[in-house]
Amino acid sequence: MHATLVVTRIAAGAALALAALAVVAQNGPLTTEQIGKDPSAIRQDAERQQAQDRAQQQQQQRSQQAADQQWNDTTQRIQQQRAASDQAQHEAVRRMWQQRPPLAPEHNPLLGRWESLGAGQRKAAAGLPPEMAQLANAIIGNVVSGVCDSMFGRGTVEFRPQGAVAIGRDGHERPMYRAEYRGGGSRVVVLPQAAAVMYMIIDFDGADHATVETVGCALARSGGAAVAKAASVETSLAAGGGAPQWTHVASSPKNGGMDMYVSIASIRRAGDKTRMLDLIDFKTRQSFEGKPFLSARNELEFDCATPRQRMLGSTGFSGHMGAGTVVASSEIDGPWQAVGSSGPGFDHWQTACKQR
């Protein structure tokens, strides 16, 4: 029986040892206070410590979340204040330009058809590695490209005295926004009436290239200087009281049928020389370098002392009677030709030269 008691005590001691080892395995080596303590009490202490650790960790997480929320709220408030300040500055600049005199069409170099080239390449920030500079340009370029598209669309845009029109490849027109113009010379300011479109300060580099200040949207004039001159003639006529009044002078079955007109109001005489606009309106669609047109306006010069004439320029239009968009334009400065004693040329010469 004594042996049995010894074995029982040894077994109990072994159980205590195993329990202590389990606690050690779970919570690390026993401390001085834990040695000789009941294993259940040690386990309770360990569980209590774990609960305290979890509570502390949750508190830290809540504190971090509160700090993050405070940071986000502060950042958002700063961004809103900055946006409000930018908007106020934007409106102040717009009002400043609106208070200036309107830009007359005949002095507006922006009028005419332009190709939108998107945003130009921006100068990289100093110290950036080439690959980072390229990435930054790509990101900024995508943002600015959207701004350029909202201003000019993609492709061809035509600025007219009343606003901007997008021109499709098939010649289809899509009005974009009505606008007013300010400035003049090498800088023109476009003030769209649509609130969704920001004002544009456009600086010119010669007659055929322009860039929008700040955002860098680039424009190139369609057809170059010849089309620019055609647009200038068109807007000068508009400034003088709208489209020219055409007087019918002849008809012909040639080219599928066409009617010929002259503009009496366009006649300008200097000595023995006189200039006048005429218009040919075609019954069927014609084509120039693959571009369809239905009417052509010509600028002619006449020698009233000697019955002769020459062509100075010609502009094709997509619609009848000089309507629609400018399809093509050229300065011809053609040779002098006799007008004869009868026919359309002689009739034109008589009409131009009898005006004093």
Question: Does the residue 78 lie in any domain?
Answer: yes
> Burial code of 91-122, b = ≥16 C-beta within 10 A, e = fewer?
eeeeeebeeeeebebebbbbbbbbebebbeee
For residue 263, tell me if it sits in a domain. Answer: yes
The predicted pLDDT at position 167 comes to 83
Say how many domains are in the chain.
Answer: 3
pTM, to two decimals = 0.42
Q: How many CB atoms lie within 10 A of CB 268?
A: 13
Domain range for residue 214?
105-222
Q: Helix 2-27 and helix 39-98: axis angle, to 10°?
A: 10
Angle at 137 between CA 134 and CA 138, to 5 degrees: 85
- Whether residue 231 contacts residue 238, with contact meaning beta carbons closer than 8 Å, is answered with no
- pLDDT for 232-263, tens place per residue? 555 444 444 456 789 998 888 998 999 999 99
* 8 A C-beta contact, residue 309 and residue 339: yes
Q: Say whether both 292 and 307 belong to one domain.
A: yes
Q: Which positions of the chain have pLDDT values less than 70?
A: 1-38, 42, 83-87, 90, 119-146, 195-196, 223-243, 355-356
Q: Say whether both 211 and 294 belong to one domain.
A: no
Task: State the pLDDT at residue 32.
Answer: 56
Please check whether residue 10 lies inside any domain of the structure: yes
Of the residues 99, 134, 162, the one at which a domain ends? 99
Angle at 266 between CA 262 and CA 268, to 5 degrees: 120
Residues 252 and 348 in one domain: yes
Alpha-carbon distance of 44 to 39, in angstroms, equals 9
Clarify whether residues 251 and 324 are in a common domain: yes
Residues 297 and 212 in one domain: no
Q: 86 and 170 share a domain?
A: no
pLDDT tens-place string over residues 187-214 = 999 998 876 677 889 999 888 889 988 7
Specify the 3-state DSSP secondary structure of 263.
strand
In-domain check, residue 170: yes
The domain boundary residue, chosen from 80, 99, 118: 99
89 and 49 within one domain: yes
Spatial neighbors of 288 by CB under 8 A, at least 6 apart, are 316, 327, 328
pLDDT on residue 87: 64
Chosen domain end from 99, 127, 154 = 99
